[in-house]
C-alpha cells in the first residue's frame, strides 16, 4: 500500500498534537515506541528518543524551493529540467537512495526506463556482508530473537555509535517472551575505542572488554576457530590479545545457550573487511555444530536496508545494478557510482537524500539532480534541486528494518511543510521520460 493510500489525513499544522508509537526513520533499528510532540511546524521528541532521533525530528524547518541553476523555479520547471538532463545522459546514475519503499520502487522503475545504474551511498559497507552471503552463506538472527533468547552478546563493532538504543532495546531489556525470570547476559566487547557505557542494568552480568585493533578482529576470531578445532595457537598473543583471553572467550561461547555476534558493516571500515565478516560467520557455523549461535548484522541507516531489499525484489540482484543493456546486470565493482564518476562513465547523477542534512552528493562536475531534504548540505549548487519531505515526518511510508525481516510503517506528523513526496516527484519524472 502506498503512502497516499494509508490512513486518514493529518491534523492542521496550526494545531498542537502529540503522536505516540512513532517509528523513527533515522536509524536501522526502526524503534517504534517514540513519542513526538508537534507545535505548529516544530517537533520535539518527548519520550524514548536517542541523539539520532532528536537530531532528525527536531532540526528546524528551513525555507526551501525548487531550483534550477541556483534560481528558484516552480516544481514543474524543476521536474522538466531533470527530465531533460536524464534524457540527454548516456548512462544516468541513481545514487544516495535515502528514501522509503515507495521512493525506491519508483527509482528502480526510472532506472529501468532510462537504462541507468542504481547504487546506495552505503553499498560499499553492505557489500561486506553480501560477499560472504554469496560465497559461503551465514547463520543470522533477528532483533526479536536476540532480545528474547540470547545470553551472550559479542560486540564486534562500535554499535552504540551507529545505533544508540541497541543496548536499551535488545541487550539490556529486563523481560523475555520465554522466561519470567530470564538469566543474566554476558556482554563481550571485541575491538577498540568502543562506547561500552550502555551495557548496564539488572539484566547484565559479566562485561568483558578484549582490546585489539578493529582491523585485526578477524585474526582473533580465526584464533577462536583454531582452538575450537582442537589445534594449538602459533603464539602466546594474537593481534595483541593474550591466549588466555581467547581461551576464556571460547569457553564463554561453549557455555552459552544462545550466543550472538553483532557487527555493523560501516564500522568495519578498512581494506578487505569482508574477510573479517567471513571469519565471524564461519566461527558461527563452527559453533552451530553442537549448539545454537548466530550472527546479527546491524546497519540500514539512511534507508540502506530498504534500498537493498527493494532492489532485490525488483531486479533479483543486490545493489549496484545497471539497466544499460535493457535488463538488470549486477556488478559490485563496475557499477559503483564513485568509480563511475571518477572514470567519467556516467554523465548525469540523480541523488536521493530525504532523511538527514548530511548525506550529500559527491563533489563532481557532471550534471546533478538532487531530490533532498530541505536542509541538505551541498558542496556546490546542483543543476536541479528539488526539496522533498522526510518519510516519517512529512508523509507516511514504510522502511525495512536492519535485520530485513519486517518493514515498519512511518507516520505523517502533520507538519504541513509543503514538501513533495519523493515518490510523487519521481512519478512525474518517469511519466515525462
At 366, which CATH number?
Answer: 3.40.50.740
Is the domain of 136 the same as that of 204?
Answer: yes
What is the model's pLDDT at position 15? Answer: 59
Please report, for the chain, how many H helices and E strands are present, in that order: 13, 21
Residue 387 makes CB contacts below 8 A (sequence gap 6+) with: 64, 65, 66, 372, 373, 374, 419, 420
Domain count, the chain: 3
**Per-residue pLDDT tens over the stretch 272-296:** 999 999 999 999 999 999 999 999 9
d(Cα 305, Cα 123) in Å, to the nearest integer? 10
What is the model's pLDDT at position 3? Answer: 37
Tell me which of 252, 281, 299 is where a domain ends.
299
Closest to 138 measured CA to CA, from 290, 295, 253, 268: 295
Is the domain of 136 the same as that of 270?
Answer: yes
Is the domain of 334 the same as that of 392?
Answer: yes
**Per-residue pLDDT tens over the stretch 293-345:** 999 999 999 999 999 999 999 999 999 999 999 999 999 999 999 999 999 99
Residue 338 makes CB contacts below 8 A (sequence gap 6+) with: 362
**Per-residue pLDDT tens over the stretch 125-145:** 999 999 999 999 999 999 999
Contact in structure between 427 and 82 (CB atoms under 8 Å): no
Cell representation of residue 56: 532528525
- Give me the count of residues in the chain: 433
Cell representation of residue 193: 575505542
What is the model's pLDDT at position 179? Answer: 79
Is the domain of 336 the same as that of 399?
Answer: yes
Residue 139 makes CB contacts below 8 A (sequence gap 6+) with: 281, 284, 285, 288, 293, 294, 295
Is the domain of 12 the same as that of 114?
Answer: no
Strand ranges inside 192-252, DSSP E = 204-211, 237-238, 241-242
Is the domain of 221 the same as that of 286?
Answer: yes
Query: In the chain, what is the straight-line distance between the N-terminal and C-terminal CA atoms, in Å?
Result: 25
- Write the CATH number for 172: 3.40.228.10
Is the domain of 263 the same as that of 362?
Answer: no
Is the domain of 281 the same as that of 136?
Answer: yes
d(Cα 101, Cα 309) in Å, to the nearest integer? 9
**In Å, how far are 10, 15, 308, 337, 418 from 395, measured between CA atoms?**
9, 17, 22, 29, 10
Ranges of residues in the chain with a pLDDT under 50 are: 1-11
Is the domain of 155 the same as that of 289?
Answer: yes
Tell me which of 299, 317, 352 is where a domain ends.
299
Is the domain of 285 the same as that of 156?
Answer: yes
d(Cα 395, Cα 73) in Å, to the nearest integer? 23
The residue range of the domain holding 179 is 127-299
d(Cα 106, Cα 100) in Å, to the nearest integer? 10
What is the model's pLDDT at position 14? Answer: 52
Q: Residue 43 pairs with which residues in a beta bridge?
A: 38
Is the domain of 312 the same as that of 415?
Answer: yes
Cell representation of residue 258: 544462545
What is the model's pLDDT at position 16? Answer: 74
pTM, entire model: 0.92
Closest to 320 measured CA to CA, from 129, 111, 120: 120
What is the model's pLDDT at position 12? Answer: 53
Is the domain of 268 the same as that of 155?
Answer: yes
Tell me which of 239, 266, 299 is where a domain ends.
299
Helix or strand or coil: residue 126? helix
Amino acid at each position: 500500500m502506498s503512502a497516499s493510500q494509508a490512513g486518514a489525513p493529518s491534523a492542521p499544522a496550526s494545531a498542537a498534537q502529540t503522536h505516540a508509537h512513532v517509528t523513527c526513520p533515522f536509524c536501522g533499528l526502526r524503534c517504534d515506541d517514540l513519542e513526538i510532540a508537534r507545535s505548529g511546524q516544530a517537533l520535539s521528541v518527548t519520550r524514548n528518543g536517542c541523539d539520532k532521533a532528536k537530531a532528525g525530528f527536531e532540526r528546524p524547518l528551513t525555507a526551501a524551493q525548487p531550483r534550477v541553476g541556483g534560481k528558484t523555479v516552480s516544481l514543474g520547471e524543476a521536474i522538466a529540467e531533470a527530465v531533460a538532463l536524464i534524457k540527454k545522459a548516456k548512462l544516468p546514475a541513481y545514487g544516495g537512495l535515502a528514501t522509503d519503499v515507495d521512493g525506491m520502487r519508483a527509482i528502480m522503475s526510472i532506472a529501468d526506463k532510462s537504462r541507468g545504474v542504481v547504487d546506495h551511498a552505503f553499498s560499499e559497507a553492505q557489500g561486506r556482508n553480501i560477499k560472504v552471503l554469496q560465497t559461503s552463506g551465514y547463520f543470522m538472527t533477528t532483533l526479536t530473537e536476540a532480545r528474547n533468547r540470547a545470553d551472550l552478546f559479542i560486540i564486534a563493532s562500535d554499535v552504540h555509535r551507529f545505533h544508540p538504543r541497541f543496548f536499551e532495546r535488545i541487550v539490556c531489556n529486563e523481560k523475555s517472551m520465554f522466561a519470567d525470570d530470564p538469566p543474566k547476559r554476558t556482554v563481550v566487547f571485541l575491538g577498540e575505542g568502543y562506547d561500552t557505557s550502555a551495557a548496564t542494568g539488572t539484566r547484565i552480568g559479566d562485561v568483558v572488554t578484549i582490546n585489539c585493533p578493529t582491523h585485526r578482529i578477524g585474526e582473533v576470531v580465526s584464533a577462536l576457530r583454531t582452538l575450537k578445532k582442537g589445534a594449538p595457537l602459533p603464539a602466546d598473543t594474537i593481534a595483541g590479545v593474550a591466549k588466555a583471553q581467547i581461551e576464556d572467550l571460547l569457553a564463554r561461547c561453549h557455555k552459552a545457550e544462545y550466543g550472538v555476534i553483532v557487527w555493523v558493516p560501516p564500522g568495519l571500515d578498512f581494506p578487505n573487511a569482508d574477510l573479517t565478516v567471513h571469519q565471524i560467520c564461519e566461527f558461527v557455523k563452527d559453533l552451530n555444530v553442537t549448539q545454537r549461535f548466530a550472527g546479527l548484522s546491524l546497519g540500514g541507516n539512511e534507508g540502506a536496508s530498504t534500498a537493498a531489499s527493494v532492489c532485490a525484489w525488483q531486479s533479483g540482484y543486490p545493489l549496484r545494478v545497471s539497466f544499460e543493456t535493457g535488463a538488470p546486470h549486477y556488478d559490485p565493482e563496475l557499477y559503483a557510482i564513485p568509480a563511475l564518476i571518477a572514470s567519467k562513465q556516467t554523465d548525469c547523477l540523480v541523488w536521493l537524500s530525504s532523511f538527514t542534512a548530511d548525506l550529500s552528493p559527491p563533489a563532481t562536475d557532471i550534471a546533478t539532480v538532487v531530490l533532498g531534504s530541505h536542509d541538505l548540505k551541498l558542496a556546490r549548487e546542483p543543476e536541479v534541486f528539488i526539496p522533498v519531505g522526510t518519510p516519517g515526518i512529512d508523509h507516511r511510508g514504510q522502511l525495512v528494518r536492519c535485520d530485513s525481516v519486517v518493514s515498519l510503517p512511518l507516520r505523517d506528523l502533520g507538519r504541513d511543510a509543503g514538501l513533495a513526496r519523493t515518490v510523487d516527484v519521481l512519478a512525474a519524472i518517469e511519466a515525462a521520460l
